[in-house]
Amino acid sequence: MTHVETRHAIHPDHARAMDTATLRRHFLVEGLFAAGEIRLTYTHYDRFVVGGAVPEGAALVLDQIAETRTPSFLDRREMGIVNIGAPGRVEAAGQGWDMGTGDVLYLGMGAGAVTFSGQGRFYITSAPAHRALPHRLVTVEEAKKVEMGAVETSNKRTIKQFIHPLVMESCQLVLGYTTLEDGSVWNTIPSHVHDRRMEAYLYHGMAPEARVLHLMGEPQETRHLFVANEQAVLSPPWSIHSGAGIGGYTFIWAMAGDNVDYTDMDFIQPGDLR
């Protein structure tokens, strides 16, 4: 019912020499969502975890996994859950939350076993925590919305911030998602890095035949991944993360590291990329 894969951290010098298959093996996360299963990828980038839970009307329980060596997964962790599917329900710490499409649930450290049910497709993110904070459901309506970009630069988009200092408190997890408007294809322009935090992207809401060209790597040694619907990309602190897609798409961004300052970015203008 629960499957866990481990990804080790990669030095930028190593990444420069990788061929396409090796880049995909280390940085692309495929097959996160499987009916009746919880699938997790445990990374050595700030011990960040991404995963998917698809209960399909039954109940799936996330509790103990060998990789953390704790009695329960959330004993020393916090979690952010995004429902990218139909309505579903999450239960933990003697409480329950009904989640609509696009809603985000924050579970603080010590929440215990987490039960997923209903018809939701739950995207899971988790990072180590140093103190217990209140659990909170943040609905789409409660998110802070920021409009960015322009039609002229093909990157007009809406950013919705959920687990974010302007909305709620967390230990180190920061999470939200960005949706491109019709006719816009570019996300995260200009590109940036933030050496204080790692980041993970989950692309979804795409047609089966569509792809996003995700740019990664050092600013002067860029690489790329072609990413399909419901696939995730791990972005080390030294890597840029930008992309352009075929048709509409949404990407969920989640970060962990030394601070929760969403604006702490080192920008790289297009003319400086190689």
| Binding-site positions for Zn(2+) | 192, 194, 199, 241
Element (H or E) spanning 20, and its range?
A: helix 20-27
Q: At 121, which amino acid appears?
A: R
Rounded CA-CA distance 147/262 in Å is 15
Instruction: Return binding residues.
Output: 192, 194, 199, 241
Collapsing DSSP states into helix, strand and coil, what is residue 21? helix
- Per-residue DSSP letter, 84: -
Residue with tokens 């996330």: 62
Residue 236, Cβ density class (10 Å: 0-12 exposed, 13-18 middle, ≥19 buried): buried
Give the bridge partners for 81, in sequence order.
105, 124
Element (H or E) spanning 23, and its range?
A: helix 20-27
CB 74 within 8 A of CB 114: yes
Distances (CA, A) of 216 to 154, 234, 259: 20, 9, 22
